[in-house]
Chains A and B, each alone.
Chain A
Amino acid sequence: DQQVKQNSPSLSVQEGRISILNCDYTNSMFDYFLWYKKYPAEGPTFLISISSIKDKNEDGRFTVFLNKSAKHLSLHIVPSQPGDSAVYFCAASSPSGGYQKVTFGTGTKLQVIP
């Protein structure tokens, strides 16, 4: 039961260009969406999030867009840098009485080519 889907397992982008990572979800109860970045041998690191009441959130080079009607979100990284090379996980959570049960996608491996 893949409630959060990342259909592209990998993506290669030239340094300086835009990286666009996509994510689809099926559970309309999700109200909060997150992107995590993961380097090998490390735990996921929070990158950026967006509440379902918004359609865009920007933090420096990172912007997350949410299209609720399409149940789709995307992460834009511009300009892409070699240090951005990592696995990016889309994640979603629903109201759960305070705590978060986060459902992760399968991840997209981003390679930024110098």
Chain B
Amino acid sequence: EPEVTQTPSHQVTQMGQEVILRCVPISNHLYFYWYRQILGQKVEFLVSFYNNEISEKSEIFDDQFSVERPDGSNFTLKIRSTKLEDSAMYFCASEDVTSGFLREQFFGPGTRLTVL
């Protein structure tokens, strides 16, 4: 069964460093998302991406964040200068635009980002 994959599973970085989190969505999906979950808190929407541009972003997704689909398969989240409060699990999700009523987003296993 097709699945969303994310790499790395765990990323440790120093405050102020840049990180790139990578995702490979399901191949025929056209909507892509990033969410994050700070430990013990809820899953929060960061950004949605369709047709090579951002559809919507939350207030969390400030100028330090960017997303890119550099080729036909990868979908990346970049944090330019990490802060301690960026430590969280980051989930990528993708959705088949033709899913009609179901509208199911498929989530990857997540990348745990630890900022020291």
Contacts and interface: CB of A to CB of B under 8 A. Distances in A.
B44 to A, nearest CB: 7
A45 B43 CA distance: 13
A49 B103 contact: yes
Contacts of A63: none
Interface string A27-38: 000001010100
Contacts of A34: 103-104
A42 B45 contact: no
Contact of A105 (B4, B42, B109): B42
Interface residues of A, number: 25
Nearest to A6: B42
Interface of A: 32, 34, 36, 41-46, 49, 51, 89, 93, 96-107
19 contacts: A34-B103, A34-B104, A41-B109, A41-B110, A42-B110, A46-B106, A49-B103, A89-B43, A96-B48, A96-B56, A98-B50, A98-B55, A99-B33, A99-B55, A100-B33, A101-B56, A102-B33, A104-B35, A106-B41
Given A45-B107, A104-B44, A106-B41, 5 more contacts: A42-B110, A51-B101, A99-B48, A102-B35, A102-B45
Interface of B: 4, 6, 31, 33, 35, 41-45, 48, 50, 55-56, 91, 93, 95, 97, 101-110
